[in-house]
Structures are given as C-alpha cells and as structure tokens.
Amino acid sequence: MQEGVALNYTVRHPIGVVGCISPWNLPLYLFTWKIAPALAVGCCVVAKPSEITPATAFLLSELCMEAGLPAGVLNIVHGTGPGCGQAIVEHPGIKAISFTGGTATGRHLARTAAPMFKKLSLELGGKNPNLVFADCDLAAAVATSIRSSFANQGQICLCGSRIFIERPVYEAFKAEFLQQARGPKDRRPAGAGHQTRGLG
C-alpha cells in the first residue's frame, strides 16, 4: 500500500427484521420512505401506519402482492400505538426501529428499545420558527413563509409555526404576509389568526 493512500469500504448487510412506524400526515410518502431502503438492503419489514390513515397502507399492500413481493417480506399491521406499535418496538426479533412522529412518543420508544440495543431512527416533531432578517429579499421571504406555514395545511414537521422578523422589515413583512394569507375572499381583521414577533 502506498504511503498516504487509504481505502475505505462500506459493506451493507441486512440486520434482520425492521419495524417501521409512520405518522398520518404524509401516509404513503413517509411509509414507503421507511420501507423501501430496508427492503433494498435485504431486510424484512413489519410496518405500522397511523391508525388514522390506514387505507393508503392497505392499498400499498395490495400493490406489493400484485407486483409479486414474496409473502412475509413486507408485513403491514394495523392498530394503535400503545397496542400494535408497542409490540413492534418490544419484540426481540425486530432489530431496528424507524419512527416518525411526536417527541414524547419518540422518547418512549427510545427508552424501550435502547436496553435491547436496537438500531433506532427517530424523526421527531419540529415546527421550527422562520427567521426573517432585514437584509432579506422581502418578496422571497414572504413567499417562503407562506409556503412553510400552509403547505399541507401546515401538517408537516418542518413547517414553520412561528415567524421572527427583524424590526426594520417587521411592518412591511407583516402587511404582505397577512395580505397573501387572507386571500381575495377572506375578510378577517388584519393580524387575526397568526402570531408574528419583531426582533430588535
């Protein structure tokens, strides 16, 4: 081997059965986002959709059977978190857990799975603020904030639920944001329904 030259190898081996638990707000997107990589590396999957949005997962199971996926490779189970989800996390035969959902539930999953040395992937609640600075492109900042506030009715973990605005552009941003948020038919009073805060 030549001095100063190194080789790195990444070897991917299936680890066994993977438990995938997904939320209700993007029922097909997040469900398949978890399942596909696990299947691609050779793992079998036990997947639980949200009990609020079971139909998408059921239709996916029908498509997988129609496509010829062998029985037992993808197992979609329906039920509540405390019943079905807890059983997946606790089962000693499930070697990894992928969960998207609330922080409190993620904390509980971590407490359950950690003593069993399971691999964990936790994508937990966000709802971070948008930060708008005085040197911004105001039109772009408003457009981005409108999208991040209302895309999918705001039911995405990376949507902004608060906006912090630097004081020099506060009034201009607020006026334009509210005008776009109201839309042409909305006659709510200015300032209703959304919290903004000026930063000093």
Is 3 assigned a catalytic role?
Answer: no
Largest CA distance in the chain: 74
* Active-site annotation holder among 123, 166, 171, 176: 123
Q: Which of 72, 49, 76 is nearest to 62 (CA)?
A: 76
Q: Cβ distance 110 to 144 under 8 Å? A: no
**Dihedral of alpha carbons 23, 26, 30, 32, sign:** positive
Beta bridge partners of 166: 199
Tell me the H-state helices in the chain: 29-40, 54-67, 86-90, 103-113, 138-150, 167-182
Enumerate the β-bridge partners of residue 130.
163
Backbone angles phi, psi at 198, to 5 degrees: -80, 140
All residues at 6 or more sequence positions from 144 whose CB lies less than 8 Å from its CB, including other chains:
130
Residue 105's H or E segment, with its range, is: helix 103-113
Active site residues: 123
